[in-house]
Amino acid sequence: MNKLLFALAVPALVAAVPAAAVVPLVNSPITVTSADVGKSFTYLYNGIVNEQNQAGLQAAITFTLTSVVGKTWNFSAAIDNTLSVAPVGGRISSFGFDGNPEIIGATPISGPFGKAVINAGFPQIGGQTTIDFCLTANNNCSGGGGGGVVNGSTATQEFALSFANNITSVVFNHFIVRYQSVTGSGFGNSGIGMGSNDGGFDPGGDPVPEPSSWAMLIAGFGLIGAVARRRQAALA
């Protein structure tokens, strides 16, 4: 093959190889209102390494709305990185999500993630996925360096989110984490995790009994009273 044919063949060969696609974000929204202060919701994260689902790589984050002050919404995040199944595991180096209305500012208050990035890019084969914000232990959401929440540990992160206007309701979606130092995987040593929610806020406190339950309770109390009266009559 002469140089001209080789020069023509190489671009054609490259064009014939399909580009790797970006892993699609998981659509798992939750609506939070300013009246939900004190309420919590939990997202469970899977593991994806080099576009492959990595069994056993998983984590959870429970978010609690702690206060709403003007355009600023304050949160606490309880990060649980103890859910991975040995020998698979990974350090969580960053996390983030989208908001509607859009999140325009983020401030880390305390915890292992000391830097915030707006319009953050989470790296994936085939491109990047842009998220409204991320909190990271390093300089970006792509990872690198140390810090974060290591495999087998938990941590609490306090942070604040800012919006362009005073709002009473926001829809959060596309929850994602970045894994570094992944062990036990044949696909690579870093990846991401997509978060999903079971549909709402975590249950808190004792549930209010249904009307049928109240009826059963009253009937039960009546039966206990009748037995007690019979015993008293028998003793007399």
pTM of the model: 0.78
Q: Which two tokens stand for residue 227?
A: 């037995």
Q: Which two tokens stand for residue 225?
A: 């009273």
d(CA 66, CA 117) in angstroms, rounded, equals 21
DSSP state of 144: -
Mean pLDDT of 66-81: 98
Tell which residue, 137, 98, 101, 136, has the closest CA to residue 119: 98
Whether the upstream peptide bond of residue 123 has omega within 30° of 0, thus cis, is: no
Q: What is the pLDDT of residue 212?
A: 47
Q: Is residue 169 predicted with pLDDT exceeding 50?
A: yes
Q: What is the pLDDT of residue 210?
A: 45
pLDDT tens digits for 176-199?
999 999 999 999 999 999 999 988
d(CA 200, CA 43) in angstroms, rounded, equals 10
Mean pLDDT of 11-37: 73
| pLDDT level of residue 6 (50, 70, 90 thresholds) | very low
Q: Is residue 71 predicted with pLDDT exceeding 90?
A: yes
List the domain boundaries for the chain: 17-196
| pLDDT level of residue 12 (50, 70, 90 thresholds) | very low
Element (H or E) spanning 89, and its range? strand 89-100
Tell me the pLDDT of the chain averaged across its residues.
Answer: 83
